[in-house]
Structure 1
Amino acid sequence: MLHPVQWGRMLCAPRFWVDLGEPGVLGAVGMLTLVLCSCSGQTASVPGHLPDSPSQEHKAGLVFIHMDSSLYSLPCSPKEMEVADPTYRWVRERADPKSLSVTEEGHLLFQHFQASDSGNYSCTISYMDHGLPVSQTFHYNVFGYHMPGGLETLLLFQSKLCEDEWTKRFLWDLQERLQQLETEQRCKLQFTTTSCLPSLNNPSDEFIIQVQLEVSFFGPNWDEHCKSQHVEMVIDCYRETIQHNLEQVRLALTRFFKEHKSFHVTGAGISGIIFTNEFISFLEIKQCNMGYGQTKQLQRCLDCCIVCPPGTFSPPKSLQCSSCPIGTYSMIYGVTFCTLCKDDMITQVPGASSVTECVTERTEQAVSIIHRIPLLLLIILPLLLAINFLFILISCYWFQQEYWMSSPTASKKAGISRVTEMVTKFFRIPREGPKPGSPAADDNDTSLLDTSHPDTSTSQGSDEEHTHGAPSPPGTPNFAALTDEGPAVLELEDRRDTP
C-alpha cells in the first residue's frame, strides 16, 4: 500500500535550491519553494499521497549549485518518500566519462562542483506496491553559478635580467611559496599576465618584471561556514564570507610580500638572479568568471553569474552569455569561446549547440530556400487566385455576350429546320429541291433527302418524269408517296395570298 508523502528532511546542502520558474511545476499543491534541511535535522511535512499510476514523470525544475561547493548531494525526489526497499537509478542526458556517485539513500553526490557538471539529470525511484512494480522519475536541470567577487593584485619586481627562462623560474618559485597562503585563506591564486620592461632609473642594467595576480575566494571548502545555514539565508552567508575573505586575503598578501622582499633564483652556469619586490596594489573586481553570465534566472540572486549553456559563450571580463556566431558552436557548459565549424562549413542560425548543425554552404542555401518557400507561396498564391477569378469572370462575360448577341432569325431558322426534318422522317417524304423562279430559292426553305429506304430513288425518278414538262403551279409544291406502304398522299398547300 502506498504511504503518504511528507515534506521530509532534505540534505546537508543549504546552498542548493529548486527554482520553480512557474506555478504548478511540482504539482497542484502549489508549492512556493522546496525546504532543504541542513545537517541539524530540521524537518517539515505536509500531507499528501503518492500517485496511483505505476509510472509517473515529474519535472522538479531548475537546480542551482554554487561552483566549487563542498560535498553536495542532490536527492532523487524533492520530497521524502516512505516506501519499502526502493531502488534508485540516476541518468545524465549526455554521455559523460565521469561516473556518477550515488549514496544508499539515492542522493547524487558532487564534490567541488564545476561548470562541466551542469546539465540535465533524471532519477527513477522504483518500489513494489501490492506486488506490482511502481516507479517515479524526477527530472532536474542543474546549473552552476557563482557570486561575483574577486581581487586583482599588481606586483612589480626589479631584476638584472629580462629573459623568459628566468622569469618562468621566478614565477614557479613564487607560486610554490604562495600555496600555503591559498590553503590558509581558502582561496585560489592565478598568474594572468607577465611582462618585462626596462627600468626608468637604469634602462641598460635594470629591468622591471610586472606580474598580475588574480585571487578567487572560492577555494577548497570556502563555504564550510555556510553549511549549517538555512536555504533562505545561504545567499547572505555567501556574501558575508566573500567580503570577509577579501579583507583577509588582502592582509595576508601584504604581510607575505613584506616578509619576502626578495627572491633568489639559481640556475646552471649562473650563480643566481635576485628579484626584488618594489610595489604591490589591490583592486576589487565585480565580474563574472569566464563561461558565466548574469542571465537573471536565479531569482534569489539577480546579480549572480549563471553558467553559459551549450550554444552560448562568455569571454573574459564579460557579464553576459552570448549566442555562438554563425559558423561556430559550443557543446558544453561554461565555454569561453565557441568552436569553428570545419572545412568551410557554416551554421544556419546563431546559437548552434552541436557539431551536427554545421553544414556546407550549398546545403545551407538549399535549406534557406526551403525555409523561404512558405513565404513565397504566401505571396504568390493570392495572386494566382486573383488571376483565376478574373479569368472566370471574363469567360462568363464573353459567353453571355455570344449567347444574347446571336441572331433571332438564325435561331428561328434552326427551329423550323428541326421541325421540318422531324416531319419528313416521320412520313418518309422527300423534299423536292427548289425550282427556278419559285419561292423555294428563299433561304427559309430546306431540302431533305431520306435515303433510308431502297425505293426512294426509284419513286423519285418516276415523279420527275411525270412532272417534266408540266410544272406545278407556283407556290404549290406536291409530295408524292415513296412506297406502297403509305396509301395516303400529303399535300401541303401554300396558304400565302397570291397577288
Structure 2
Amino acid sequence: MYTTYTPDALEAQKRVLDPKELEFTSGCEPPCRWLGIEARFSETNALEHFPAPINLILTIIKFAQHLGNRQINITNTGKLVVKDFIESLSGLYTCTLSYKTIKAETQEETTIKKRYDFMIFAYREPDYSYHMAVRFTTKSCVGRYNDLLFRVLKKILDNLISDLLCHVIEPSYKCHSVKIPEGDFVHELFIAFQVNPFAPGWKSVCNNSSDCEDATNRNILKARDRIEEFFRSQAYILHHHVNKSIPAMHFVDHSFQVVRIDNCRPGFGKNEGLHTNCASCCVVCSPGTFSPDADVTCQICVSVHTYGAKSCP
C-alpha cells in the first residue's frame, strides 16, 4: 500500500504517514495490491503542531467526506479506516479537530478548532507489456519463405510463454536490403511484435481478485526473460557451429531489442506534474478528465464530475 504525506505549506516537510494516524486497506491479502492511495495534506500534521497547552483534551476528530459509507469508519481513537478503496472514494477529505486548553491558575477553558484539508487519490501500478524487435537474414525479399519463417517464429514464441498466460500480439515484418560495410547488399527481415500478459484465460492468475497487476507483471517479466534467452541461444548456436554451413535465414546477432510499455487501466492515467510523488503510477483520473482505454493519459472532458471516469458523456 502506497501512502504519502505532502503538505502544501512551504515550511512543511514531506514524510510518510504513520499508520497509527491513517489506515487504508485494499480488501485483499498480499500479494494482491490493486489500489494505492496518495494523500496530500494542505497543512502540517495536526497532532504534531498544536500549541503546547497545560492540559490538552482531544474532543473531536472528524473526517467529513463519505461518513455515511460503510467502507469508511472512524475509530474511537480518531483513526480513519478505509476498506476496499475504490476510485470514487478519491477526493477532498477534511479533518476538523477541536481541543481545549485549560489555564492552571484560573481553570479557564479555551476551545480551539483546527481544520485540515487533504486530497486522497486512488492509484495502481501500470500494466507492463514489451515491444520487441529482431532481424533475420533472408535470400530475397520476394517469396513465401519469409512469411513462413515469420509465422513459425510467432508460434515458437507463443508456445514458449503460453504457460505464463502471455502471448505475442501485433506482429509485423518488413524486408529491406541492407548495405554491409565494405561488402554487398544483403536482405534482412525486420520483425516487430508486442508481448503482453493478457492471453485467453489470464484472469486465472488473479486468485479471484479483479485487480492483479502484480501477478500479470511478474509473468510478463518472466516471458521477456524467456524470449531474450531464446534469441541469445540462436546467436550461440551460430557462433559455435562455424564448421557447418550457415542457413540462409538466421537470426542476426545483437539485433534483439526490447522496450517496456506502460499501460493504465481505463479510468486511470499518469500525470507527473500533478502527482510528483508517484510519477510512474497510474493515478485515478480527476473530475474533468477521463480515460476510456489502456492509454497513460487522462483526456479532458468538462462534463465529467467524478473520479475514475472511463467515458465522456
- TM class by shorter chain equals 0.3 to 0.5
Give the TM-score normalised by the residue count of structure 2: 0.48
Higher relative contact order (CA 8 A, sep 6+): 2
| Structure holding more strand per residue | 2
| Structure holding more helix per residue | 1
